[in-house]
Chains A and B, each alone.
Chain A
Amino acid sequence: MRLLVVEDYEPLARSLVQGLREAAYAVDVTGDGAAALELARANAYDALVLDLMVPKVDGLSILRQVRASGSSAGVLIITARDQVPDRVGALDLGADDYLIKPFAFEELLARLRAVIRRRYGAAENLVRIGDLELDGAARTVRRAGRAIALSAREFALLEYLALRRGQIVTRTEIWEHVYDFAAEPSSNVVDVYVGYLRRKLGDGEGGAARLIQTHRGLGYALDAPGAA
Chain B
Amino acid sequence: MKGSLRFRLAVSVVAVVAAALFALSLVLHALFARALVRQFDARLLGDAVAIAGMAEEDAHAPEFEAESLPEFERRVRPAYFEAWLADGRVLARSPSLNGADLALSAPDAGADVVLPDGRAGRVVHVRQPLRIEDEPTPRVSKQLVTVAVARGTEEVADTLASVRLWMLALALLTLLGASAAAIVAVSLGLRSTRALAAEIAELDATRLDRALETRGLPDEIVPVVAKINELLARVRESLAREKRFTADVSHELRTPLAALRTTLDVTASRERSPAEYRAAIDQVNVVAQQMQALCENLLSLARLDAGPVAVRPTEVALRALVQSCWGLYEGRARARGLAFENQLDTDACMATDPDQLRVVVSNLLSNATAYTAPGGTIRVRGTADRFEVHDSGPPIPPEILPHIFERFFRGDAMRSDGIHCGIGLALVRGVADVLGLRVTAENTNDGGVAFTVSLR
Residues of A within 8 A of B (CB): 7-12, 14-16, 18-19, 22, 31, 53, 55-56, 58, 78, 80-83, 100-106, 108
In the complex formed, the residue of B with least CB distance to A53 is: B410
Tell me the bound Cα distance from A78 to B254 in angstroms: 11
**Residues of B contacting A12 in the complex (Cβ-Cβ under 8 angstroms):** 255-256, 258-259, 262, 418
| Main SS class of interface, B | helix
Pairs A-B, 10 closest by C-beta atoms = A9-B418, A19-B266, A105-B265, A101-B258, A80-B254, A12-B259, A102-B258, A102-B257, A80-B251, A15-B263
Shortest distance between the CB of B135 and any CB in chain A (Å): 130
Q: B256 to nearest A CB, angstroms? A: 7
The answer for the CA separation of A102 and B266 in the assembled complex, in Å, is: 14
The residue from A9, A16, A18 contacting B255, defined by CB atoms under 8 A apart: A9
B287/A11 in contact, CB under 8 A? yes
Tell me, yes or no, whether B417 is within 8 Å of chain A by CB.
yes
In the complex the two chains form, is A22's CB within 8 Å of B266's CB? yes
Please name the residue on chain A nearest to B251 by beta carbon: A80
Instruction: Choose one: B257, B263, B267, B418; the contact of A8 (CB below 8 Å).
Output: B418
Known: A19-B269, A22-B266, A105-B265. A56 touches B259 (CB 8 A): no
Question: How far is B260's CA from A104's CA once the two chains are assembled, in angstroms?
Answer: 10
B192 in contact (CB, < 8 A): no
Contact A102 B419 (CB under 8 A): no
Closest CB of chain B to A6's CB: distance in Å? 12
| Interchain CA distance A53-B265 in the complex, whole Å | 23
| A14 CA / B259 CA spacing, docked (Å) | 9
A-B contact count (CB 8 A): 87
Complex Cα gap A82–B253 (Å): 13
Look across to chain B and name the residue whose beta carbon is closest to the beta carbon of A31. Answer: B418
Contact with A along B262-281 (1 / 0, CB 8 A): 11011101100000000000
Q: Which residue on chain A has the smallest CB distance to residue B254?
A: A80
Q: Contacts A9-B419, A22-B270, A82-B250 given; indicate if A105 touches B262 (C-beta within 8 A).
A: yes
Say yes or no: B265 contacts A19, CB within 8 Å: yes
Q: Which of B368-420 contact A (CB under 8 A)?
A: 410, 412-414, 416-419
Complex CA distance for A56 and B262, rounded to whole angstroms: 25
- Known A19-B269, A22-B266, A80-B255: A10·B261 in contact at CB below 8 Å: no
Is B413 in contact with A56, judged by CB distance below 8 angstroms? yes
- How many residues of chain B are within 8 Å of chain A by beta carbon? 30
Q: How far is the CA of A11 from the CA of B260 in the complex (A)?
A: 8
| CB atoms of B258 and A22 under 8 A apart | no
Judge whether B418 and A104 touch: CB under 8 Å. no
Within 8 Å by CB of B257, from A15, A22, A58, A101, lies A101
Q: For residue B287, which residues in chain A have a CB less than 8 angstroms away from its CB?
A: 11
Measured in the bound complex, the distance between the Cα atoms of B259 and A104 in whole Å is 10
B:283-323 near A, CB below 8 Å: 283, 286-287
A/B interface sample: 15 pairs, CB < 8 A: A10-B418, A11-B256, A11-B263, A12-B258, A12-B262, A14-B283, A15-B259, A15-B267, A16-B262, A22-B269, A53-B251, A55-B413, A78-B258, A80-B251, A104-B265
Residues of B within 8 A of A58 (CB): 412
Say whether, besides A14-B283, A82-B250, A105 and B417 are in contact (CB < 8 Å): no
Q: How far is the CB of B228 from chain A (nearest CB, A)?
A: 31
Interfacial chain A residues near B413, Cβ < 8 Å: 55-56
CA gap between A56 and B263 in the complex, in Å: 26
Q: Is the CB of A102 within 8 A of B283?
A: no
Minimum CB–CB distance for B429 against chain A, Å: 23
Give B412-440 as 1s and 0s: 1 = Cβ < 8 Å from A's Cβ atoms: 11101111000000000000000000000
By beta carbon, the residue of chain B nearest A103 is B258
Which residue in chain A gives the minimum CB-CB distance to B414? A55
Contacts of B410 in A (CB 8 A): 53
* CA of A19 to CA of B265, assembled, Å: 8
Given A15-B266, A80-B254, decide whether A102 and B416 contact each other with a Cβ distance below 8 A.
Answer: no
With both beta carbons as reference points, the residue of chain B lying nearest to A105 in the complex is identified as B265
Q: B416 to A8, Cβ gap below 8 A?
A: yes
Closest to A81 in B: B251
Distance to closest chain A CB from B454 (angstroms): 31
The reply to whether A9 and B265 form a contact with Cβ atoms under 8 Å apart is no
In the assembled complex, which residues on chain B have CB atoms less than 8 Å from the CB atom of A31?
418
Question: Across the two chains, which residue of chain B brings its CB closest to A18?
Answer: B266
User: How far apart are the CA atoms of A10 and B256 in the complex, in Å?
Assistant: 10
Query: In the complex, what residues of B have CB within 8 A of residue A108's CB?
Result: 262
Check B255 against A104 for contact (C-beta < 8 Å).
Answer: no
CA distance A100 to B270 in the complex (A): 25
Residues of A within 8 A of B258 (CB): 9, 12, 78, 80, 101-103
Q: Of B247, B250, B261, B286, which is within 8 A of A104 by CB?
A: B261
Report which of B247, B254, B267, B283 forms a contact with A11, defined as CB distance below 8 A: B283
Q: For B259, B263, B286, B412, which residue has the most chain A Cβ atoms within 10 angstroms? A: B259
Closest beta carbon of chain A to B50's beta carbon, Å: 112
